[in-house]
Structure formats: C-alpha cells, structure tokens
Chain A
Amino acid sequence: MGFSFVSDADTLRLVQSVAIFHFALTLLLLIVVLSMRVSLRLRERRRQRFSAVWPPILADAVDVATSDLPKLARRDLPDFLLLWNHLHESLLDESKDRLNQIARALRVGQVALGMLQSWNLRDRLVAIVTLGELREHSAWDELWRMTQHEGALVSLAAARSLVLIDAGKAVPQIIPLLLTRADWPPARVAEMLQTAGADVISDQLADAAVKSALEETAGNADGDGNSEPNYAARLVRYLELAHNTSALPAARTIAQSSHDPQVLAACLRLLKSAEDLTIARQCLAHEDWRVRVQAATALGRIGEDDDENRLASLLSDRQWWVRYRAAQALVNLPSMRESKLAIIQAAQTNPFARDILAHVMAEVQLQ
C-alpha cells in the first residue's frame, strides 16, 4: 500500500485541505445567499413603505399640480426613478409636465446627471431615461457622447433621450447614426422616431433615404462590391413613420433608381396611390421574391381591374408568400366577386394556384 500518488501522504494532505476548503466555501456561499435574501427582504419592506407613500402622490400629481411633497430618502431614489419613468412612459404630455415638476422639486435631475457616470449599468440606463423625460438640456453633451457607446442599450437610450429633450436638434444628428447602428432594434428605433414626431422626421428621413439609396446604387454601379450592409433599405423602412407628402416622393425616386431588392421591397410597402401602379406592376416580375411579394401586396391596396391577369399569373409563383399576397390582392380588386374568383380558380392549371385561392376565399368567408 502507498505506492500510488493517491496514497502519498503529502498528496492526501493537499487533497484533504482542498476538500475542506470546498466545504468551507460551500458554507460561506450559503451564508452569502442567506444574507442576500435577508437584504432582499429588507429592500422589499422598504419598497412597501415607499409604495404606501409615493405612488399615490405621483398618481394624484397626474391630475392636479402639487407642491406639498415629502422628503425623498436617498435610498428610495432608485424605486422613485423606476416608478416615475414607468408613469412617464404610460402618460400623455400634459401629465408628464406635472411629473417633471415633481422631479425638479426633488432635484432628481442633478442626481441623474451624477448617475450617468455610475459603473452600474442599471443606474446609468435609468439616469439616461430620466434625463430625457426631464428634458434636461444640460445633459445634452454627455448624452450625445453616449450615443457613440458600443452597447446598443446605452446608445439607443441616449439617442431617445436626446429626441425627448429637443427633437428638432436631435433628429439631424441621429439619422446618420441609423445608417451605422445595425445593432439598434428597428422596433425601438421606430418608437424613437415616433416620439420625435412625423413633422420633425419626415423631410430629413426622406432626404437621407434618397441620398443613401442613390449612393448605394452608384456604389454598386461602380462595382465596389460593398453590398453587405443595406443602409438605404433600413432608412426607407422607417419612412412608414413619415408624412406621405415626404415619404411617397422619396419612395418613388428610390424605386425608380435602385436595383437593390431590399430597398425596392421597402419602397413598395409605402406606395399608396394609383400613380404608383406602374412601379408596382413592373416589380411583379422581379427576380427576388421579396420584391414580388411587396408588389403583389401593393396591388392589393391600389390595384385596378386591369391587374387581374397579372395577379392571377402570380398565383403560380414558387414562393408561398407571393401566391398568398397575389390571391389576397385579387380578392381585393374593385370589381371582384366570388363567382369571378371561382372562374379564375377553375382556370388555374397549377394546383398550388387553386389551393391558395381556395385558402384566401375561405379566409374572406370566415371574416
């Protein structure tokens, strides 16, 4: 016995010590976990006390201006800011002004400015959102610096706060960022642009989209091969949030010059009047199905009886979504009747075409 390393006295002592260390660490972790739970309990109790005081005050302040405010304890500040921001996101403008009066009375702005430098991401994000809702102009430079942050959460929150502070000043600075920040979720960008309002974004967004699309088209024509990031398509997509008077001319200009399928598809989503019929019809035969499906959808909105044969031919498209949208567009044509649809269906030699028409006709009946 004792010829192997597991029987070696020194090894055994070492392993034994490590094992004891493991058990000690395990117990220590238990103590840490229990202390965290105790601390959580205390926080919850404090939150309950906070909830008894501040939510009613803020809720009342939404209806009536108030100047009689209790002192806000420093430790209640995180909960206050969360509640305050939550209400802000759920309320209309007039009520927001009253919430801001309360926050200013409590000198929340200064605290939030200090929190911008916090190492804690949560504090920083809350501070960014708070400063935006407070329309805190003094935070402009710092927030602008934060729009360049590598993390999407921080940069997008900062951009949105700038929009809240001064949309007219922020939008021209932020639109170029939309071209480069692929990590900004489109739904959140759209929310930000909606916050800025169509009056502010329409012309600038339209100009930027046209410029970007033309540059990309020129770049592709020059054969620089840099076709990966589709900036123009991204901007054209946001034109849905702009006024038609700006969005439609831009979409038409871009659709006539761009050959990029994503850009074309985004433009087709915007077309809304009979003068766009030519563009939509031309795109029905595009080699990319994403363009064909949007062209069919556009004809569903603006198509005329003349488009019957064009749409019927798309019922045999190899892409399901094209067939489906073409069938919906056919059903929506001005003079289309059930009997006529039955004739079109019977005339189809392709079973996929017959099936998709039956599908859409059944949908209509159910509606």
Chain B
Amino acid sequence: MTLVNFILGIEYFFLLYFLALHGGYFALDIIALLTVPRYMQSRVIGDLPHSCSAFDLPISVVAAAYNEEAIIVSTVRSLLQLNYAEFELVIVNDGSKDETLEVLQQEFKLVHFPEAYRARLPSARVRGIYLSTLYPNLRVIDKDNGGRSDSLNAGINVARYPLLCIIDADSVLQRDSLQRAVQPFLEDPRTIACGGTIRIANGCQVRSGFMERAGLSTNFLALFQTVEYLRAFLFGRIGWSPLNGLLLISGAFGVFHKESVVSVGGYNIHTIGEDMDLTMRLHRQAIARGVPYRISFVPDPVLWTEAPESFKVLHSQRVRWQYGLGECISLNRDLFFKRGSGFAGWVAMPFNLVLEWLGPFIEVGGYVFMVVTYLLGLLSFRSFVVFLFFAIGLGMLLSVCALLLEELSFHTYPKMRHIVLLFIAALAENLGYRQLNSFWRLEGLVRWLLGRKPGWGQMTRTAAWQAEKLVSDDVAKL
C-alpha cells in the first residue's frame, strides 16, 4: 500500500464518519422539527382544567440527597407543591456528613416510623425511616453512604406507587412536570419509562424552590452548556423518542414503571452511567420477553440543574460521562442487532458506539491528521482551512437548529437579548469548546479502555440562582 493510498483511505474514513455523524444528527433534527410543533399543538387539551380522579396514576417521587443541608428544605417544599393528584415523596439521605437529616427532621416534624418495606433491590444499610407528621406523603430514608444509585435503590424499595419519578435533589422541578411526564403512561399502556428536558439553571432566578425567571449565565462555560443541553434534549432525545430508540432517560429527571425497574434489578451501583445503563436494560428486558414497550420523551416536563462553571469540574464531568457511555455499551452489548430490538438495537446502539463513544477518537484523530499532513506538506493551507471551515460551519448549523426548535416550542428565554446571546454561544462553542470536549471525551474513552475508573470529583455548586430563595427562606425563619 502506498502512502498515497493510505492517506486517501484515511481521508475517506474521516469523510464517511463526518457524513454519518452529521447526517444522523440532521435526521434527528428533522424528526424533532416534525414532532415538536405537533406536540405543542396537542397541549391545548392538557392545558384545560381537568378534574382529578382515582383513575389517575399515583407517583412516588424519589430523590437522593448527600450533604444538601443548604437546599434540601426548599427542594422538599417545592416538591410538596407539585401539581399532581396523588404522589408521595421519598427523600433518601445517603449518609450525609452534614446536617441534611437534622434539618429535614426539624422542618417537617419527622418521626421514626417502623416501615415494613420490601427490600427487593440491594442497598447499603438503612438506619431508619421517618414519616412527616405535617405531610403524610413525605418519608425520609436515612441510610449508610452508598452513592446515588444505591440511594435510589433504597428509595425504590420503599416507594409504594406504580410509577416512579427519579429526580436530583439539588435541582428545580417545574410545578406541572409530573402531570406532563405521566401523559405517555396514560396514553400508551406500553410505556415503561419517560424522560423530560433538563435545562441549565445558571443565570436563572429561583424563588421558594420554583423557577421564577429563566435567564442565561454570564459564565461562558455555562452558556455553552445551555446550547449543548438544548441540542441534546430538543433534537437528540425528541428525535429518538418516536423511533423508540431512546437509550438514555436522564438520572436527573425520569418517570418509570416501577415494576419494570425492579424487574431489571434497579440501578447498577457499579456503573458510572447508571441512568443510561438502566434505560438500556429496560430495552433489553422488554425485547427479551417479547413484550411491546415504549420508552418515551416529553419535552416540556422541565428540570433545571446547575452546570459546572469551571474547566476542572466540567472536565471531570465529561470524562465520567464518556467512561460511563463505554461501560453501558459494553454491559448492554446484547442489545446490538438483537432480533426484535428495532431502532434501539439496530440504529441507536451502533450510533452510540461508533459516533458517540468512538467519536472523540475519530474527531481528535481527524484534527491531528489534518495538522500533521499540513505540517508535512501533504495538505495545502487552503484545504486545511476549507475543511475546518466546513466542519465548524456544520456544527454551528446544528446548534442553531436547536435554537430554532426552542423558538418553535417553549420560548423559555424571554428577552431578545437572550436569543442573540444564545446565537453567539451557538457559534462560539464550535471554536474551541467542542474540540476541548472531544479531548476530554477521548480521555474518558482511553480511561475505559485502560480500566481506570474516574472518581466522582467534586461538583462545586455556586447555587447563585438559588441565592434569592435562600435569603427569602432565611427571612421567613426570622
């Protein structure tokens, strides 16, 4: 094989990857563009007042808390005010080293309760279960520290209702989120899981645990992540949902058919991408049993979460995500091309393997190849610039498509200034941030190959968006 043929082969490989990746994203984008307007139109019925009845599906909301003494009270208060006919709240204190349990006990008048529950999922030792004397639908589990997955398993054991809503205790859930997320279960009995949109809370204003005003952060990393999340949720998830090819219901917010979760063994405490692993196992089990099923996504149950604003934390998060993706794909490889697995096994799994998991390797390889061939004089400067221009332009177009979807649907960010800022971020994130992400993800990929599990790192939350709320809560106490 000559050098010419070798280089030509590599070029075709990169071109093919590039076309497949962006072709895939554009296909998802088109599906989302067709789906979202229709969904928005259909909301008119759901927005009318409805009477609640015994026929509504009751939900257990489960949240794990670790060292959340600063915000746990406002989080629980906001969750208790969710608009839903019948729900219970199960808060799991995962062996916090701070006063999380104590503030809950004091604020909600918790009493120790001899709960007889079914420990169908393994979890660390439960020290005690508490029931609120103020709110009969609030229970708190105090347990030894075992991590988020372990805590959620403990919460699921205690949960009583047929539907489970898993949320992050340090996030803000929109008041009508449960009503909206439960719709797929009501409309299609085959539904076993449903996800909702996660948005970035940095720059927003929260009062008493509820989103008061959406806004944008002045931190450019948070701003880039806002665009990333729009892209991931508005056309990533919405695009896969009608195909039943959704492989990830985010751990920050998802509603599940409880028995389905229990029957697959709950959350795997040994994986980093426990939410994706659970979703994939739900697919696998339903396919293995030959049961018709749906894993859906509804765009408007929204959960707001804080994005990292420092390179260090973001780096750690992205390495972990990529490592988790490798773990999940490896653990659930049975799903590949399995008979009856539909889009999940035949399209979504290969897409995630080749384009998402191996993607950083190919992307970084592409950048290195371009630079090396240019430096060796094998590539003209013009070619170098034109292909870079082409790749960046396509990335920008995809990001701006997400803005279009946002404008077609929710208009979350109220000001014209927000639109312009998001547009600038959608362009600018392609000039360095995405490439940096590819390097971080490559590190995650290599770590997985070497079996070097990344730590959880320290997510430093500024909770600036909650500042007003904390002040108002403090004033209320006085």
Instruction: Type the 1/0 row for B136-176, where 1 means its CB is closer than 8 Å to any CB of A.
Output: 10000000000000000000000000000000000000000
Question: Is residue B312 contacting chain A, with contact meaning CB distance below 8 A?
Answer: no
Instruction: Type the 1/0 row for B392-405, where 1 means its CB is closer than 8 Å to any CB of A.
Output: 01101100110110
B1-22 interface (Cβ within 8 A of A): 4, 7-8, 11-12
Contacts of B373 in A (CB 8 A): 4
Question: Is residue A90 contacting chain B, with contact meaning CB distance below 8 A?
Answer: yes
B397:A152 contact, CB within 8 angstroms: no
Bound CA–CA A12/B384 (angstroms): 10
Contacts of A157 in B (CB 8 A): 45
B241-263 interface (Cβ within 8 A of A): none
A25:B397 contact, CB within 8 angstroms: yes
B44:A125 contact, CB within 8 angstroms: yes
Question: Is residue A120 contacting chain B, with contact meaning CB distance below 8 A?
Answer: yes
Instruction: Type the 1/0 row for A121-156, where 1 means its CB is closer than 8 Å to any CB of B.
Output: 110011001000000000000000000000011000
Bound CA–CA A36/B42 (angstroms): 20
The one of A16, A121, A153 in contact with B386, judged by C-beta atoms closer than 8 angstroms, is A16
With A37-B416, A190-B55 already in contact, the answer to whether A29 and B377 are too (CB < 8 A) is: no
Contacts of B54 in A (CB 8 A): 190, 240
Bound CA–CA A297/B131 (angstroms): 23
Most buried by B among A7, A89, A358: A7
CB distance from A279 to the nearest CB of B (A): 21
Contacts of B186 in A (CB 8 A): 185-188
Contacts of A276 in B (CB 8 A): none
A121:B48 contact, CB within 8 angstroms: no
A2:B380 contact, CB within 8 angstroms: yes
**Nearest opposing residue in chain A for B118, CB measure:** A320
Instruction: Type the 1/0 row for A36-50, where 1 means its CB is closer than 8 Å to any CB of B.
Output: 110011000000000
Contacts of B400 in A (CB 8 A): 26, 29-30, 33
Query: How many A-B contacts at CB < 8 Å in the complex?
Result: 158
Bound CA–CA A152/B42 (angstroms): 11
Most buried by A among B8, B55, B56: B55
With A26-B396, A191-B51 already in contact, the answer to whether A36 and B407 are too (CB < 8 A) is: yes
A5:B48 contact, CB within 8 angstroms: no
Contacts of B115 in A (CB 8 A): 359
Contacts of B404 in A (CB 8 A): 29, 32-33
Contacts of B390 in A (CB 8 A): 15-16, 18-19, 22
With A1-B377, A359-B116 already in contact, the answer to whether A12 and B411 are too (CB < 8 A) is: no
A19:B393 contact, CB within 8 angstroms: yes
B4:A3 contact, CB within 8 angstroms: yes
B42:A12 contact, CB within 8 angstroms: no
Question: Is residue A73 contacting chain B, with contact meaning CB distance below 8 A?
Answer: no
B40-62 interface (Cβ within 8 A of A): 40-42, 44-45, 48-57
Question: Is residue A86 contacting chain B, with contact meaning CB distance below 8 A?
Answer: yes
With A3-B4, A7-B383 already in contact, the answer to whether A26 and B393 are too (CB < 8 A) is: yes
Contacts of A120 in B (CB 8 A): 41
A362:B397 contact, CB within 8 angstroms: no
Contacts of A185 in B (CB 8 A): 183, 186-187
Name 7 extra pairs, CB < 8 A, besides A19-B394, A320-B116: A12-B383, A16-B389, A33-B400, A90-B49, A157-B45, A186-B186, A324-B116
- 20 CB-based A-B contacts, threshold 8 Å: A4-B11, A7-B383, A12-B383, A16-B390, A18-B390, A19-B389, A26-B396, A33-B403, A33-B423, A121-B41, A121-B42, A125-B42, A126-B44, A129-B48, A153-B42, A153-B45, A188-B50, A237-B55, A240-B54, A352-B116
